[in-house]
Copies of this chain bind each other. A is one copy, B any other.
Amino acid sequence: MSVGIRHDDLRRRNRAMVLSAVRRAGQPSRTEIAATTGLSHSTISAISSDLIQEGILAEGKPSETTSLKRGRPQVGLTLNPEAAAVVTVVLSLNFLSVAVIDYAGQVIAEEQRRLDTLTMPRDELIGECTAIVRRRLEDPDLDLGSVARIAMGIQGITDSHARAMLWSPITPLTDIPFADILEAEFGIPATMENDCNMMAVALQWRDPDRYRDNFIAILLSHGIGMGLVLKGELFTGTHSSGGEFGHMIHRPGGALCRCGRRGCVEAYAGNYAIWRSAMKMSEDAEPVDVGDADMRALAAKAREKDGPERDAYRRAGEALGFSLGNLFALIDPAPVAMVGVSAAAFDLIEPALREAIAQTAGGQHSKSISFDTEPNELPLIREGCAIRALTFVDQEIFAPGVQARAGSGKNVA
């Protein structure tokens, strides 16, 4: 039974709405906010006055808004960058990246490190993560008290509560509760989310026209991952981060997958699978790591002339096409973004993909399905983490429930 609406909720939700409108629009006037939210001018005036007094919003420079119209000029409202800060942590294969981001969304500090995630013991991996965050938080320019949220993104399966990494291809370790670890270490609320989900969040933020209510982000890399947005909301499984698209079964009993099963999409379309197929190795051959440079060379060779390389990409496209078609049978077709190193070879993949998808129930209008490509996943993941964390601050800290209202950057426990 969903709970009734209390009177206090009203203000809370409308505050959140105003913050969301400002974050989305950049520097909207009160009148614009009233229009997008559907609330009255008086309400917006009252709420924004509160938010300015609390140091969350600020009035923009009137000089910038060179109004050509007559009448009182609009005053743009902006997010006060100093109202809060968030930290993003992105952990991927052999690579750790941290950024500190102010409330307005600008990166104010960052640090990156190479490390050997595949062989690192548990304590060391956790230690590296906490250490790099600590270094950024110890920056004297940063007001530690204003850091309101840490958002970590990782390649692998996370639990649906955004607390822990359950399994990951970048390390043999399992069940690491990174969110709890970071929270305990720094006393700052933290989350641990799947990289592909963060990519989807970032795409929605970057291009809301194309990626609005329903779309799919697919990571074509060593493994195959997916972030799925349905009805405008990130879709996660009931227990895990969900969307194990890469391990849908393409051919029962087929090629050997890194996960130990047979016939997964990844066993045909992952980097190692394309490589294995191009090298005419057996479908049962143990998956090997292939570097990005090798993959680019492979793609170049496949573009050059017909042969096993081109055929490998064709098989990858077929696997992706049938599985996408199966997915579309369930959710109807939607825009797709292909991200990662093999997205740069999408020209080799696309023909077979479209041919396969046309043979499925979900591919009835396969002509109209459109694909975008983005070879570089890291910036997307970081941006998604940042948006996630900032949205949390907007909604839970600056528009809190019954708890005492947050004064001057103090976090709600």
Known: A322-B252, A356-B252. A264 touches B361 (CB 8 A): yes
Copies of chain A in the complex: 2
Contacting B at CB under 8 A, from A310-343, are 318, 322, 325-327, 329-334
The answer, yes or no, to whether A237 is at the interface (CB within 8 Å) is yes
Max chain B CB contacts within 10 Å: which of A4, A21, A37, A214?
A: A4
**For A344, what are the chain B residues with a Cβ–Cβ distance below 8 Å?**
none
Complex alpha-carbon distance, A181 and B242, angstroms: 40
The answer, yes or no, to whether A250 is at the interface (CB within 8 Å) is yes
Q: Pull 12 A–B residue pairs with CB atoms less than 8 Å apart, ordered by A.
A: A1-B20, A1-B37, A4-B14, A4-B37, A5-B9, A10-B10, A214-B238, A237-B332, A242-B330, A248-B330, A249-B326, A251-B251
Q: In the complex, what residue of chain B is closest to A21 when comparing beta carbons?
A: B1
The answer, yes or no, to whether A59 is at the interface (CB within 8 Å) is no
Q: In the complex, what residue of chain B is closest to A24 when comparing beta carbons?
A: B1
Complex alpha-carbon distance, A310 and B213, angstroms: 45
Contacting B at CB under 8 A, from A189-243, are 213-214, 228, 230, 235, 237-240, 242-243
The answer, yes or no, to whether A362 is at the interface (CB within 8 Å) is yes
Complex alpha-carbon distance, A367 and B13, angstroms: 43
A185 vs chain B, min Cβ distance (A): 30
Complex alpha-carbon distance, A279 and B327, angstroms: 32
Contacting B at CB under 8 A, from A11-58, are 13-14, 17, 20-21, 24, 36-39, 43
Complex alpha-carbon distance, A251 and B230, angstroms: 27
**For A5, what are the chain B residues with a Cβ–Cβ distance below 8 Å?**
9-10, 13-14, 17
Complex alpha-carbon distance, A13 and B6, angstroms: 10
Contact of A250 among B10, B247, B252, B318 (CB under 8 A): B252
A343 vs chain B, min Cβ distance (A): 21
**For A14, what are the chain B residues with a Cβ–Cβ distance below 8 Å?**
4-5
Q: 3 nearest interchain CB pairs? A: A247-B361, A237-B332, A4-B37
Contact of A329 among B4, B248, B329 (CB under 8 A): B248
A110 vs chain B, min Cβ distance (A): 31
Known: A6-B38, A37-B4. A252 touches B252 (CB 8 A): no
Chain A interface residue count, CB cutoff 8 Å, equals 61
The answer, yes or no, to whether A261 is at the interface (CB within 8 Å) is yes
Q: In the complex, what residue of chain B is closest to A231 when comparing beta carbons?
A: B238
A322–B242 contact, CB under 8 A? no
Q: In the complex, what residue of chain B is closest to A241 when comparing beta carbons?
A: B332
Contacting B at CB under 8 A, from A342-384, are 356, 359-362
B359–A262 contact, CB under 8 A? yes
Known: A359-B249, A361-B247, A361-B259. A239 touches B326 (CB 8 A): no
Contact of A4 among B7, B13, B330 (CB under 8 A): B13
